[in-house]
Structure 1
Amino acid sequence: MPEPDRDMALDDRELRAARGLAVAGDWAAARDIVATAGADWERRGLRLKVLAEAAPQDAGGWLDAWLLDAPDDPIAVTLNAAALSDRAGKARGAAPAAQTSEEQFRSFAELSERSHAEAVRALTLAPDDPMPCTILLGSMFAVRDQRGAFREVLAEARRRDRYNFDAHWTAVNFQCEKWFGSHRAMFDLARETASEAPAGSGVTMLPLFAHLEYAMRQYCWGKVSRDGLINCRRYFQRDDVQRELDACVTKWRSPGPPVHARALVCENWLAVAYALSGRRDECAAVFGRIGPYVASHVWAYFFGSTVGGFVANWKWANRVR
């Protein structure tokens, strides 16, 4: 099998090269790779997220040098907001609230607040880019009662890019039961967005993501177990879940092979869903399209490890012992 590749840049080789140059001190390479995405907001958002993860936490790094040279550069300000958001998420960690310390929560809140402030500035400096809205939505995870602001920010993201994948994916997460919503709110938002979106758009796969979130929360919350996995498999094999899975895939792929920047994320969701459904041949076909790119943490929901789940199910799908 291919060596699993967890790099957030996925198959964007130009982005990988630009990130290497930026880390070596050439912040202009980071600016240029984002700028060349133009109004492909999904590609631009992916590049900002990848560069944000690579931004140094210590003062005096390449991002600070960029901001010192061009303090109102909309790309630099948006990237700084995204970098603070990335640090906030890492500070909190991925464990359930009961397994998260007070110090982790404090760091999460502080960094989210700083990210929020920078994203507000980016809203004005980059009036068409939906990425500042996505970052603002992300900052709301640190504060419990943000439902009014949530609706306003999502509306602004939609004004900028009606079916933006990152904004809606973040919003569906916000509405899920493990955060500030419910199973019904999560499914309602995912299905409404998917039904209105044009065929081929990545958001048409959000109901599938909602099913993965539902199964994890109901059967594997806080601990992966044999019984939990059995229940997840039973859930995904239900006729109604299978019908919605197939409808999502049909609408997503009907214009032809997806080319949007988050296509590999959706392909990973689909591979997980086919694995849980027991649809081995279809799962193998999806792995053939994925190649080495482990593009979603959803594998860990059901199999305990992101890479471990990817590898084990690749072997199952391809009948490799």
Structure 2
Amino acid sequence: MGIISSRRRRSRLAPELDDQDLGKLLKYLLATTRSGTIAMTDLCVAQVSRLLERDPGDWDRRAHRMGVLADFLAGSHLPRSWATREPHNANALVLYAWSEVARARSQGSLEDAAVIDSCLRAAELAPEDPTPWVVILGAARLERWEQPQMFRVWNEVLARDRWNREAYLNMLGYLTPEEAGSRIQVLDFVDALCARMPADVPCAATELTAQVFQYHSILGRGGFEALVARNHWSQVMAAQALDRVAHTWVQPGLLRHARALADLNILAYALMAADRRHEARAALEALGGVVAPWPWQAGGDPLTEFEQAQRRAGL
């Protein structure tokens, strides 16, 4: 990752995290949109294509860039236009499909049935790439596929990228009681992962993410349960999940995957929720002011929540 210097910087939402090339592209696309030029010109497509062609074989970095661009372009015609013009370009097909999934998340349903077909065509064009299968997982969650179907797609991802962060988080979300699973299935999934997962892989935050999901579920119930939700972090499994990573993730050089700063945001949030402020301070300092919307947005505006956490931690 290259952990950012602990020198305090102004907090800011940065979907690119510490990916400077992605950040430059997002600024370019935003400036193009603000200038009144529809972001589907040949130059825009060329810029996007150039970035996605970098770092071949780095599936973790590719998924990060593709996911951020898909979220950014979900309301744009660029992905569909590019995929239509270049139907044999795997990058164009995957970006289009992922942007449709991103749009569907906000709308609640997947409107374009061609999304799965686009991913399957991309998988044929780039059979070694796990990303099309990751996008199928996202689409399948929205469509509530049966578990045998989901696990078949899941196995396609793992055959290409054993520790794919997006795949693990998609399956974790799918297995929650709020979607198609149960609390027991979440525990079994996390236990099986932790039993064989190295400490520094891209999906390292799966266990802690599961605990944040459960914490948010308790808050969502309201009433007395929400008032004592902090007690969740004193439970054995939640406390152990924090203990395992609170002092290691903040060490420079340990986390080097593309979304390491997003995982540090999860850690800082969970430590503050558990009132472990001294440990949270180290995580907040390591972030250098880079804020990921989730999970801070659960309490309101993510920047405001993050800055309040900084103050409470004594920064």
> Do the structures match in fold with TM over 0.5?
yes
Change (3 A) 1:209 1:156: same
- Conservation of the 8 A alpha-carbon contact between 1:22 and 1:62: no
Q: Kindly tell me: are residues 192 and 56 of structure 1, through their superposed partners in 2, closer, same or farther at Cα, counting changes over 3 Å?
A: closer
Q: Which residue number corresponds to residue 4 of structure 1?
A: 11
Structure 2 residue aligned with 1:50, among 56, 60, 68? 68
Q: Which runs of 5+ in 2 are unaligned?
A: 1-7, 33-40
**What aligned pairs does 1:297-316 form with structure 2 within 5 A after superposition?**
297-301=294-298, 303-316=299-312
1:244 pairs with 2:237:
no
Structure 1: 5+ residue stretches without partners: 93-107
For the 8 Å contact 1:233–1:276, the answer to whether it is kept is yes
* AA matched with 1:316: R
1:261 to 248, 258, 261: 258
Q: Deviations over 1:235-274 (max 9, x none)?
A: 1023442223222456767894311111111101101111
Aligned: 1:34 with 2:30:
no
What TM-score, normalized by structure 1, do the two folds share?
A: 0.84
Say whether the 8 Å CA contact 2:52–2:66 is kept in structure 1: yes
Q: Residues 191 and 206 of structure 1 are in contact (CA less than 8 Å); yes or no, is this contact kept in structure 2? A: no
Q: Is the 8 A contact 2:172 2:186 kept in 1?
A: yes
Aligned to 1:200: 200
Matched-pair contact (CA < 8 Å) for 1:201–1:252: no
Q: Say whether residues 1:164 and 2:171 are aligned partners.
A: no
> In structure 2, what is the equivalent of residue 101 of structure 1?
none
In structure 2, do the counterparts of structure 1 residues 185 and 296 end up closer, same or farther at CA, with 3 Å as the change threshold?
Answer: farther
Report Cα offsets for 1:193-244 as digits up to 9, x if no partner: 2332222113222111111111211x21265x7x555422111023442223
Aligned residue number for residue 210 of structure 1: 210
Q: Which amino acid aligns with 1:317?
A: A
Length-normalised TM-score, structure 2: 0.85
SS across alignment from 1:140: helix
Q: 2:240, 2:74 → 1: CA distance?
A: 45
What residue in structure 1 maps to residue 110 of structure 2? Answer: 109
For residue 203 of structure 1, give the secondary structure of its aligned residue in structure 2.
coil
**1:316–1:212 distance in 2 versus 1, CA, 3 Å:** same
Tell me how far 1:56 sits from its aligned partner.
6.3
Supply the AA of the counterpart residue of 2:118.
E
Determine what percentage of the aligned residue pairs are the same residue. Answer: 24
> Contact 2:79–2:99 (CA<8 Å) still a contact in 1?
no
CA contact (8 A) 1:195 1:204 kept: no
Distance in 2 (CA, whole Å) between partners of 1:91 and 1:299 is: 22
Q: Which has the higher helix share?
A: 1
SS at 1:109 equivalent: coil
Secondary structure of 2:263's partner? helix
Q: Which amino acid aligns with 1:307?
A: L
Partner of 1:96: none
Q: Which has the higher contact order (CA 8 A, sep 6+)?
A: 2
Quote the Cα distance in structure 1 between the aligned partners of 2:296 and 2:267.
11
Partners of 2:159 and 2:304 in 1: CA distance: 40
